[in-house]
Amino acid sequence: MFSKKDTSKVLLRDNVSPKVLQTKYDVRGEIYLAAVKRANEGKEVIYTNVGNPHALGEQPLTFNRQVLSLVMAPFLLNDPRVNSMYPSDAIARAREYLRHVKGGLGAYSDSRGNPYIRQEIADFIQRRDGVTASPDKIFVSNGASECVRMFLNCIIRGPNDGVMVPIPQYPLYSASIALYGGEMVGYYLDEDTTWSLDMDILRSSLAAARAKGITVRALVYINPGNPTGQCLNKENVENLLRFCHDNRMVLCADEVYQANIYTPKAFVSARKTLASMPEPYRSNTELVSFHSVSKGPFGECGLRGGYIEFHNIDDGFIDEMYKLASVNLSPNVTGQVALGLMVNPPRPGQPSHNQYQSEVRRCIESLKRRARRIVDAFNSMEGVSCQPTEGAMYSFPRIRLPRKFIERAKSLGKSPDVLYCLELLDETGLSCVPGSGFQQVPGTFHIRTTILPKEDKFDDIVGRFKSFHEGFIRRYGKPEPEAPRSRL
């Protein structure tokens, strides 16, 4: 029987929900908090821990901010000078949104998102993939992360429901699965072959989970990969779709980096791949896909706009997601308009088209150059090996650590890569995320850095990584020889 004298304070860490306690999200974990503390002491910090382009000086696309500012302040449209301050297509676009978004940015929209904007998204999917897409199967939310969380909340019924997640993975997935009390079923990517997918590994992960009594309900993959940066090909995606169909799982395609591609390989969407497959796969494989305004050349992280597209998903299930979305009333409307602008950019012939395309091109070319530079730099360091960054925004080098250092970490009760990152921060101001935050093959260590610092600072930053590592080797000795690797 509960009685008040049992606790001196009602709410303590001890009686916080265990699910919350077991949730871990290191992208803003120990290193980041140490970095913030350091910044507050007036020391320099370079935040390379989050894919946050604008925070590192990336410029927003001009057209987007023009339209958004007009939708934000419609009175500007009545200003006689507006035609000289804004291009005509930005003005026209703003008027379109004001016509179709009742009450403008300040009114709650449909809980699933404004229908006009969801139609723009459907049109985008149709153009991109040559499929028929419907706005009824598209929900918008405050970022793709919120869509992911809502989806996982609906599918995880209890501790015996599992979700397959790549290792390494973006820890939204591991954290959300823990938060909703499910079981994370990891499948290792093969680092040496550019973090490739090995279907045998997936099969054995699934089998092991099932042997433990877990019902695996979904499989997540991230393409382009985060933190790993690989781009999948059509065969990979087909294999995943077939695998999910045959094992009665939903395929969850996290495609938020689809506009960050640095190789000649084109982006392969799950939706398009599925449409090209024969029956029974085409009509029976359950698929959800996620996209966001936060990445790509758009980089509008702070506006929080993302969507989920349901394909071959039961309507009853979608209704439950709708109900869950309703409790939040409405996704933020600014982010929704940003989504519309992302999926429906200025067309050829429109006044802003050329500038828009050249801004996009410049951004991607620059990211491509930075990706190459940092990967080459890591590969030139002793005991460091780094797979190419084919896409996304990160580099995820593997660092072989000297025995002395590993032991020091152990004695401090820290994961060795955490300690590496703390020392890196201390010496260089660089705030990265240790590989343990993404999970990795046991006995291996990685760090994740973004490729986002501006190009004119990039050489300096690469230099800092290099000189830190050289000093590190001098301090702690040469790294251990390659250990035989056991995956499972």
Partner 1 sequence: MRRGRFLMKAMSLNLSTVNSHVKNAEYAVRGPILLAAQEIEERLKNDPGSLPFKRVLKCHIGNPQSLKQQPISFVRDVLTCVINPSMMERATFNPDVVERAKRYLEEIGSAGAYAESQGISAVRQEIADFHYQRDGYPADPRNIFLTNGASEGVKSFLQTIIRDPASGHRDAVLTPIPQYPLYSGTTAVLNGVLVPYYLNEEAGWTSTSKDLDAAYEGAVAEGVTPRALVVINPGNPTGQVMAEEVVREVAAWCRDRGVVLMADEVYQENVYKDGAKFTSFRKAAFDLDLFSGQDPLQMVSFHSVSKGFFGECGLRGGYYELLGIPDEVRMELYKLASMCLGSNTVGQIVTGVMVKPPQPGDASYEQYNRERSDILDSLKRRSLVMCEGLNSLTGVSCNVIEGAMYAFPTIRLPKKAVEAAKAAGKGPDTFYCLRLVHETGICVVPGSGFRQKEGTYHFRITILPPEDQIDEAVGLLRDFHEKFLNEYKD
> Which residues in 17-46 contact partner 1 (CB under 8 A)?
17-21, 23-25, 27-29, 36
Binding residues for partner 1 restricted to 283-342, rule: CB under 8 A: 283-284, 286, 294, 299-304, 312-314, 316-317, 319-320, 323-324, 326-335
CB of 154 to partner 1, least distance (A): 5
Binding to partner 1 by residue 145, rule CB under 8 A? yes
Binding to partner 1 by residue 467, rule CB under 8 A? no
Binding to partner 1 by residue 50, rule CB under 8 A? yes
CB of 136 to partner 1, least distance (A): 13
CB of 484 to partner 1, least distance (A): 36
Binding residues for partner 1 restricted to 59-78, rule: CB under 8 A: 60, 65-66, 68-70, 72-73, 75-76
- Taking the least distance from each CB to partner 1, the nearer of 216 and 381 is 216
Which residue of 37, 43, 127, 157 would you call a contact of partner 1, by CB under 8 A? 157
Nearest to 295 by CA among 282, 308, 306, 283: 306
Contact call for residues 184 and 173 (beta carbons, < 8 A): yes
- Write the burial class of residue 266 (CB in 10 Å: 0-12 exposed, 13-18 middle, 19+ buried): exposed
In whole angstroms, what is the distance from residue 444 CA to residue 189 CA? 13
- Taking the least distance from each CB to partner 1, the nearer of 109 and 269 is 109
In whole angstroms, what is the distance from residue 292 CA to residue 328 CA? 19
Which residue of 87, 113, 143, 388 would you call a contact of partner 1, by CB under 8 A? 143
- How far from 152 is each of 110, 308, 329, CA to CA, in Å? 22, 12, 19
CB of 197 to partner 1, least distance (A): 22
Contact call for residues 21 and 13 (beta carbons, < 8 A): yes
Phi and psi, residue 71, nearest 5°: -70, -35
- How far from 259 is each of 311, 325, 476, CA to CA, in Å? 21, 27, 41
CB of 52 to partner 1, least distance (A): 5
Continuous segment of H or E residues that includes residue 251: strand 250-254
Binding residues for partner 1 restricted to 198-237, rule: CB under 8 A: 217
In whole angstroms, what is the distance from residue 437 CA to residue 293 CA? 24
Which residue of 153, 204, 239, 263 would you call a contact of partner 1, by CB under 8 A? 153
Binding to partner 1 by residue 92, rule CB under 8 A? no
- Stretch in the footprint of partner 1 (CB under 8 A) among 123-131, 280-288, 409-417, 461-469: 280-288
Binding residues for partner 1 restricted to 332-391, rule: CB under 8 A: 332-335
Kindly tell me the sign of the dihedral angle through the C-alpha atoms of 163, 168, 171, 175. Answer: positive
Nearest to 258 by CA among 290, 218, 300, 303: 290
Token pair 């604008």 in the structure block, residue: 54
- Taking the least distance from each CB to partner 1, the nearer of 44 and 75 is 75
In whole angstroms, what is the distance from residue 432 CA to residue 424 CA? 8
CB of 206 to partner 1, least distance (A): 14
- Taking the least distance from each CB to partner 1, the nearer of 181 and 383 is 181
In whole angstroms, what is the distance from residue 264 CA to residue 291 CA? 21
Binding to partner 1 by residue 266, rule CB under 8 A? no
- Taking the least distance from each CB to partner 1, the nearer of 85 and 266 is 85
